[in-house]
């Protein structure tokens, strides 16, 4: 009886909510949290967004010790399948909790397929149990992956429920593809319910087999909470963007969807961009043609300015030489740029930009600020007034520090000294990354420090605060600021701080930067 009550031998899932029930109870509003978050991320300073670790890192070749781990898991599963009981389930489950399933799942499944003596029926039942009752994400992922080895229409609702959470969408998508006859329609159903890494995985796998799917790809398929760039070229190709924009008129939703796609293609990034899209000349031409009447928001203006930049960048002439063999001509380039510039020059934009900065939401304010900078529209005072109402807005500090006016920078620095909790920031050097709400003030300071090297003598107290911040980036930015100043402008407190910190700094790379700073300044 003593052994039975000992927590060390209790099943790890006992007394904990299953992940499936946690997601199901959230309904359609699935957030990125999971009930095992605190346990899974214990000791880690950085938490990936849901699905981010699997999505960003992908599956890599495994060293031999992980091969052995995959074989051991397959052996444990086979043993449990031959005579299922609680003791073998506990051992398997405990191993799964400690296993990096994302980097090993393909090899584990390969070992399961060839493991002698394994009982398929029992494996299917265990897969369903793990997916439905598992309280730890790695166990649930393993269960979902195992379901992909079988026809699994009978557990469609289970897979769709788990797949609504970005942490599990990739696993659910593969299981659906491998185990359902109408897998493409099921993937489409799921794609409309996710917004992060899960959406990326699904759109990458979705076949444009119907007009409904193609329409959705162009109108809603590209937008995601990670980076639209991952999906822009896929949606343009599979949705038929060239054919859609060739029409004389299009609906507003299609025009906005095309705006998302073109913006992402122009931005480039981790996936295919405008130079990879074979129909770019025609699509940009048709978009600009339609934009004469349909461009009404600062986001439309931002994309139009992006098209102007793309067509006019002199430092990319080598790229334009290659583009001339991919459907572009000098005449088309010149004509299209002139048309885009004409749209961007419309007098209506000034008031719309100012209104977006003054009262728009986060997205509108971002596009308004970007357009204001390119068009020379004055919005500094608007941002300053907004900051005065709420001093812990790091984006506002970032925008305001773009000014080339020393008096404005001095005014902002004085505001920061008065309104940022400098004593709360300067708690002493450590190795903190400075992420999250707890470090809002540190983030604000960071945006100020990164440009103070250009304003010698302004902001010494903030630099001193940065040198004593636990956030590594704050200290690096403070050092960078001092690199741009002569020692005569430092003052005694900064000199003493640099000398002392060079001896006590806990981060090796920052310490090296401090020694280089002292050497360069003769300290």
CA distance readout (Å), 34 to 10, 137, 316, 434: 22, 8, 46, 23
pLDDT at 47 exceeding the cut of 80: no
pLDDT digits (tens, 9 = 90+) for 157-182: 999 999 999 999 999 999 999 999 99
Please report which confidence band the pLDDT of residue 363 belongs to, taking 50, 70 and 90 as the band edges.
very high
- Give the tens place of pLDDT for each residue, 450-463: 999 999 999 999 99
Nearest to 199 by CA among 30, 82, 347: 30
d(CA 202, CA 238): 13
Place of tokens 């039975």: 4
Cβ neighbours of 275 (radius 10 Å): 15
What SS3 state is found at 490?
A: coil
Lowest mean pLDDT among 32-41, 334-343, 440-449, 503-512: 32-41
For 497-518, give one letter per residue: b (16+ CB within 10 A) or e: bbeebbeebeeeebbebbeebe
**Smallest Cα–Cα separation from 261: which of 247, 238, 193?**
238
Please give the pLDDT value at position 66.
75
Q: What is the pLDDT of residues 206-248, one digit of tens each?
A: 999 999 999 999 999 999 999 999 999 999 999 999 999 999 9
What distance in Å separates the CA atoms of residue 468 and residue 477, rounded to the nearest whole number? 12
C-alpha distance from residue 53 to each of 33, 191, 386, 433 (Å): 14, 19, 36, 18
Q: Which residues contact 322 (CB under 8 A, 6 or more apart)?
A: 275
Q: Are 439 and 421 in contact (CB under 8 A)?
A: no
What local confidence, expressed as pLDDT, does residue 7 receive?
A: 46
Cα 17 to Cα 136: distance, rounded to the nearest angstrom: 9
**For the segment 107-120, what is each residue's pLDDT rounded down to a tens digit?**
889 999 999 999 99
If pLDDT is split at 50, 70 and 90, which confidence band does 29 have? confident
What is the pLDDT of the chain when averaged over all its residues? Answer: 92
pLDDT digit string (tens) for 54-111?
A: 766 553 344 446 778 889 999 999 999 999 999 999 999 999 999 888 888 888 899 9
Whether the CB-CB separation of 426 and 469 falls below 8 Å is answered with yes
Answer for the pair 447, 401: CB distance below 8 angstroms, yes or no: yes
Q: What is the pLDDT of residue 59?
A: 33
Sequence-separated (6 or more) residues with CB below 8 Å from residue 363? 299
Give me Rg for the CA atoms of the chain.
Answer: 28
For residue 494, what is the enclosing H or E element? helix 492-504
Residue 480 has a pLDDT of 97
Instruction: Assign 3-class secondary structure to 230-287.
Output: HCHHHHHHHHCHHHHHCCCCCCHHHHHHHHHHHHHHHHCCCCCCCCCCCCHHHHHHHH
Residue 426: phi and psi, rounded to 5, are -85, 60
266 with 282: CB under 8 angstroms?
A: no
pLDDT at 57: 58
Q: What is the mean pLDDT of residues 459-488?
A: 96
At 93 the pLDDT is 93
Confidence of residue 325 (pLDDT cuts 50, 70, 90): confident
Confirm if 139 and 171 have CB atoms less than 8 A apart. no
pLDDT tier at 144, thresholds 50, 70, 90: very high
Share of the chain above pLDDT 90, in %: 79
C-alpha–C-alpha distance, residues 116 and 134, integer Å? 26
Q: CB of 197 within 8 A of CB of 237?
A: no
Q: Which of 70, 79, 124 lies closest to 99, judged by CA? A: 70
**pLDDT over 70 for what percent of the chain?**
95
Cα–Cα distance for residue pair 28/181, rounded to 1 Å: 25
Helix or strand or coil: residue 432? Answer: strand
- Contact by Cβ (8 Å): 176, 201: no
Q: What angle do CA 237, 240, 245 make, to 5 degrees?
A: 120
Largest CA distance in the chain: 87
SS3 call for 471: strand
Of the candidates 219, 182, 218, 222, which has an alpha carbon nearest to the alpha carbon of residue 202?
222
Q: What integer is the mean pLDDT of 384-403?
A: 96
| Nearest alpha carbon to residue 262 among 294, 317, 310, 297 | 310
Q: Hey, how many other C-beta atoms are within 10 angstroms of the C-beta on 279?
A: 17
pLDDT, one tens digit per residue, over 247-304 is 999 999 999 999 999 999 999 878 899 999 999 999 999 999 999 999 999 999 999 9
The position carrying tokens 């073998």 is 88
Element containing residue 298 per DSSP (H, E): helix 298-312
- Select from 183, 184, 191 the least CA-distant residue to 221: 191
- Residues in CB range of 104: below 8 A, 6 or more apart: 62, 66, 69, 70
If you write DSSP's letter for every residue of 38-98 in order, what string do you get?
HHHTTT-S--PPTTHHHHHH---PPPHHHHHHHHHHHHHHHHHHHS--HHHHHHHHHHHHT
Neighbour-count burial of 21, counting CB atoms closer than 10 A to its CB (0-12 exposed, 13-18 middle, 19+ buried): middle
**CA–CA separation, 358 and 521 (whole Å):** 44
pLDDT digits (tens, 9 = 90+) for 180-203: 999 999 999 999 999 999 999 999
Average pLDDT for 1-29: 75
Q: Flag the least confident range among 106-120, 306-320, 413-427.
A: 306-320
């Amino acid at each position: 009886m003593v052994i039975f009550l000992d927590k060390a031998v209790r099943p790890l899932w006992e007394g904990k909510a299953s992940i499936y029930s946690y997601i199901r109870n959230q309904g359609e509003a699935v957030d990125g949290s999971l009930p095992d978050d605190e346990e899974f991320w214990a000791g880690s300073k950085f938490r990936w967004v849901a699905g981010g670790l699997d999505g960003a890192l992908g599956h890599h070749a495994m060293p031999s010790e992980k091969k052995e781990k995959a074989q051991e898991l397959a052996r444990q599963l086979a043993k449990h399948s031959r005579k299922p009981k609680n003791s073998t389930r506990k051992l398997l489950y405990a191993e799964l909790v400690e296993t990096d399933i994302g980097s090993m799942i393909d090899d584990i499944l390969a070992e399961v397929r060839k493991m002698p003596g394994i009982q398929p029926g029992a494996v299917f039942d265990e897969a369903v149990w793990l997916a439905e009752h598992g309280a730890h994400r790695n166990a649930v992922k393993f269960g979902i992956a195992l379901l992909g080895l079988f026809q699994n229409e009978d557990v469609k609702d289970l897979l769709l429920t788990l797949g609504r959470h970005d942490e599990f969408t990739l696993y659910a998508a593969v299981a659906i593809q491998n185990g359902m006859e109408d897998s493409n329609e099921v993937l489409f159903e799921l794609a409309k319910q996710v917004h992060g890494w899960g959406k990326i995985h699904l759109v990458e796998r979705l076949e444009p087999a119907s007009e409904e799917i193609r329409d959705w790809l162009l109108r809603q398929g590209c937008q995601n909470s990670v980076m639209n760039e991952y999906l822009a070229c896929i949606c343009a190709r599979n949705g038929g963007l060239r054919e859609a924009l060739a029409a004389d008129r299009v609906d507003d939703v299609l025009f906005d969807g095309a705006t998302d796609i073109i913006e992402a293609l122009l931005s480039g990034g981790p996936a295919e961009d405008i130079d990879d899209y074979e129909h770019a000349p025609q699509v940009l031409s048709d978009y600009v043609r339609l934009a004469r009447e349909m461009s009404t928001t600062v986001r439309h203006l931002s994309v139009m300015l992006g098209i102007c930049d793309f067509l006019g960048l002199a430092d990319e002439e080598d790229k334009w030489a290659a583009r001339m063999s991919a459907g572009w001509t000098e005449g088309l380039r010149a004509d299209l740029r002139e048309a885009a510039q004409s749209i961007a020059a419309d007098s209506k934009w000034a008031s719309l930009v100012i209104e977006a900065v003054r009262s728009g939401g986060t997205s509108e304010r971002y596009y308004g600020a970007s357009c204001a900078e390119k068009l020379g529209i004055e919005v500094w005072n608007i941002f300053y007034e907004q900051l005065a109402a709420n001093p812990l807005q790091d984006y506002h500090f970032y925008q305001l520090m773009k000014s080339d006016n020393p008096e404005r920078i001095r005014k902002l620095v004085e505001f920061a000294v008065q309104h940022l909790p400098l004593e709360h920031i300067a708690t002493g050097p450590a190795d903190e990354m400075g992420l999250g709400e707890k470090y809002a003030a540190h983030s604000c300071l960071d945006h100020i420090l990164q440009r103070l090297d250009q304003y010698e003598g302004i902001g010494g107290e903030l630099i001193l605060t940065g040198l004593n911040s636990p956030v590594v980036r704050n200290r690096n930015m403070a050092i960078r600021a001092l690199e741009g100043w002569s020692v005569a402008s430092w003052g005694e407190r900064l000199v003493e701080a640099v000398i002392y910190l060079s001896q006590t700094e806990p981060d090796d790379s920052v310490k090296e930067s401090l020694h280089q700073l002292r050497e360069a300044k003769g300290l």
